[in-house]
Amino acid sequence: MKVFLSSDMEGTAGVVDWDQCVGTGPEAVAGRRLLLDEVNAAIEGALAGGATEIVVNDSHSTMRNLPPGQLAGGASYISGSHKPLYMMQGLDDSFDAILFVSYHGSVGAPAGLSHTYNPRAVVEARLDGVVTGEAGINALVAAHYQVPVVLVTGDRSACAETAELLPGVRQVVVKESISRAAAHSLHPDRACALIRQGAQEAVAAAPGTAPPPLRDSVLEISVRTTDIAEAASWVRGVERIGPRELRCTGPDPLSVYRSFCAAILLTRAVAEVV
């Protein structure tokens, strides 16, 4: 059984500040250690659940946060940027299950370090009218390749938002938000134990799990400024439907995802203008 693991970072137990998520300082080093432990717990659980091959796609920030030689189970590692499929790079129809590890809530959600891809640009994202974060948007790629998302781990908002779109997905909540910059986290050992158990159960049940029901979905985005909306509308598949409102459509879920990612990349410079 072949398993794809996409790891973010802001949903990791004990991570509450951007200094733990970016850069090379001591807090970032400690944050990456916490992330590595959660990723390895998911790998170990997946192997216990029947996985025979695991591909880890580092999906956070510069996407080179994990020491390849310390990944458990001989997992292969996709790292670096730019990646055409970003947080889902490497996925295709040869996989049997997908794990989302250390994911966070969407921008506007009651979640620590909440954002949706680019916090300077995106105010809200909706799939078929349902507010979603990065997990829901990434599930479009899973829907295209017909691979089930069987597990999500992270803060409560991330898990709840994912379950709203993917009924039946196993959830492992490792922290509760107090504010956008504070959280009540499980002890890392406890968080890893729950992730290990959740991954084992999720992968074992993967053969009976349906792919995401998002084959004909429409992705709508509210952005911060009219300039961002204008620039995003230059992307094929992105329509401006209001002063700061966009709609991404396409012949298949992968096309919708690609249009969204292209719009995010194109608007980065505009979004950073004060």
Q: 62 in helix, strand or coil?
A: coil
For the chain, list residues with pLDDT below 50. none
164 Cβ contact partners less than 8 Å away, ≥ 6 residues apart: 130, 132, 136
Q: What is the DSSP letter of 59?
A: -
pTM for this prediction: 0.97
DSSP result, 27-52: HHHHHHHHHHHHHHHHHHHHHHTT-S
Alpha helices in the chain (DSSP H): 26-48, 134-145, 156-165, 188-204, 226-232, 253-271
Q: Is 104 a catalytic residue?
A: no
Fold observed for domain 2-113+134-208: Rossmann fold (3.40.50)
Which of the residues 60, 82, 104, 115 is marked catalytic? 115
Residue 248: CA atoms inside 13 Å, Cβ hemisphere, count? Answer: 27
CA distances from 123 to 61, 197, 224, 229 (A): 19, 35, 6, 11
Question: What are the structural domain ranges in the chain?
Answer: 2-113+134-208
Helix H, strand E, coil C: the string for 73-90 is HHCEEECCCCCCCHHHCC
- pLDDT tens per residue, range 215-259: 999 999 999 999 999 999 999 999 999 999 999 999 999 999 999
Report the amino acid identity of residue 238.
V
Can you tell me the distance from the alpha carbon of 56 to that of 156, in angstroms, rounded to the nearest whole number?
23
pLDDT for position 103: 98
In angstroms, the CA 166 to CA 113 distance is 23
Closest by alpha carbon to 126, among 165, 170, 153?
165
Nearest to 150 by CA among 215, 104, 195: 195
Predicted local distance difference test score (pLDDT) of residue 274 = 53
